[in-house]
Amino acid sequence: MADGDTRVVGSKNLGSSGILYSDRRDFYIRPNVVKELWTDVTPFTTVVANQSTMSGLADPTFKMFEHRNPWVKQQFNLKTAIANNAMPSADAETTSVNIDGAVGIELGANLKGLEVEVYSNAHAPKFRAVITTASASAIKMKLLGPKGTNAIVATDYAMIIGSAMGEGTNSPSAWADDLAVVYNQCQIFKTPVEVTGTLLQASLRGESKELARLRDMKSQEHKIQKERAFLFGENLGGLSGAFASAEGVHDVDGNTIRTTMGIIPAIKNAGLTGDDKNNYIASDVNTYAKFVDVMERVFQYVPEAGMKRAFVGAGALGHYSKLSGASGTFGGDSGWTVNVGDTERDKLGFNYRVLETPHGAIQMIPTPALRGPYNDYMLIVSDENLFHAQYRKPQFQASIQAPDYDGVKDQYLSDEGVGISLVESHCLIKVA
């Protein structure tokens, strides 16, 4: 290091010489004020914390109950083929049809007396029938109509319409599902601030006190690191809680390191398909028709607030703003003109714009953490299925240095995580 150079290691300034001394010392009556680049660096954490914060958890690894309403979709697969001429058209039972693949209902005696509609695997309707005999593996039905081509193929499925019970019958067999459990963890965030005793006394150009400037800077660094962890973090167990090595990995001294599962890896790892698919790439939304189909799935879970929140990178925000209708653009090629509202200020302190879709409105919030590889991403969340978990309340620990140290060392400490349930209610879209 050349003589007279400033010696700076991380947030620790080791002296007050060189440029630090000659150019930043405050010899002026009115020192300049250093402006911060971002005033609202952590909108995702802000929204989650204001939506719901659970503090004083009993354990840094926490469980959440979740439940999926079974009545949203109730169906099962038909695994036995019956030729058209073998389907009885009068008041007579079919032969036994094997069943599996239940969605939203239990297979068993509870199926008796239910009216169903049979569909092909291409979702073409075939006929309606009432189940007259049922077990966990097979059913028999009586045809209701329409008459005609009513053959069953071994790839068909039956969708439940409702119950149709005979006169004077007893109460049918009951069934019930159970609650599911998902997990996550709080992780320990530490951001230190340190200056020497000499620098502590120096009045520096740009800020009246260097320690005060560093405290402000490190406070924002602490916040943005929590924001990134809540968005991008991952742990060994995922939301299923299948933790290895006693809940986490260990440092070289054998201490347990717990990490919170961020919402983006949770969505990517879910691997959901069909109506529950919630991870989309650019080719899934590169036409207006595809975009509308994706929005239909996004809004199938009606938001209690009446609007969905989306945290967007600059590329994703620009993507929708550039839909001018010119040839070669998303809007121009599809004949679609997008409606993006003017910039507004949320009461929580961040800017947003509203994207109007055929199925609902989306509040697009520019999110500084969505940069680089996530610049073109849009994260649409369900507020009701997110919360901020605090094992210990955030602390600013002042003067934690050793008694004989000539300087000051402070530390921001948090032991926090994000609670994520019903992962299919959240959505990730890469727009380009």
Per-residue pLDDT, 251: 87
As to burial, measured by CB atoms within 10 angstroms (0-12 exposed, 13-18 middle, 19+ buried), residue 119 is middle
Tell me the per-residue pLDDT of 367-396, one tens digit each, with 9 for 90 and over: 999 999 999 999 999 988 999 999 998 999
Tell me the per-residue pLDDT of 281-333, one tens digit each, with 9 for 90 and over: 999 988 888 888 999 989 887 766 668 999 999 999 888 777 645 455 555 55
Per-residue pLDDT, 202: 65
- Whole-prediction pTM: 0.76
* Cα(340)–Cα(354) distance, integer angstroms: 6
Instruction: Delimit the CATH 2.40.10 region(s) of the chain.
Output: 70-163
Q: CB neighbours (10 Å) of residue 184?
A: 29
Instruction: Delimit the CATH 3.90.1690 region(s) of the chain.
Output: 43-67+181-430
- Class of domain 70-163 (CATH, top level): mainly beta
Per-residue pLDDT, 37: 44
* Cα(25)–Cα(210) distance, integer angstroms: 10
CATH number 3.40.50 is the correct assignment for the domain at 43-67+181-430? no
The residues of the chain scoring below 50 in pLDDT are 1-39, 245, 324, 326
Per-residue pLDDT, 405: 87
For the chain, state the CA radius of gyration.
Answer: 30
Per-residue pLDDT, 98: 97
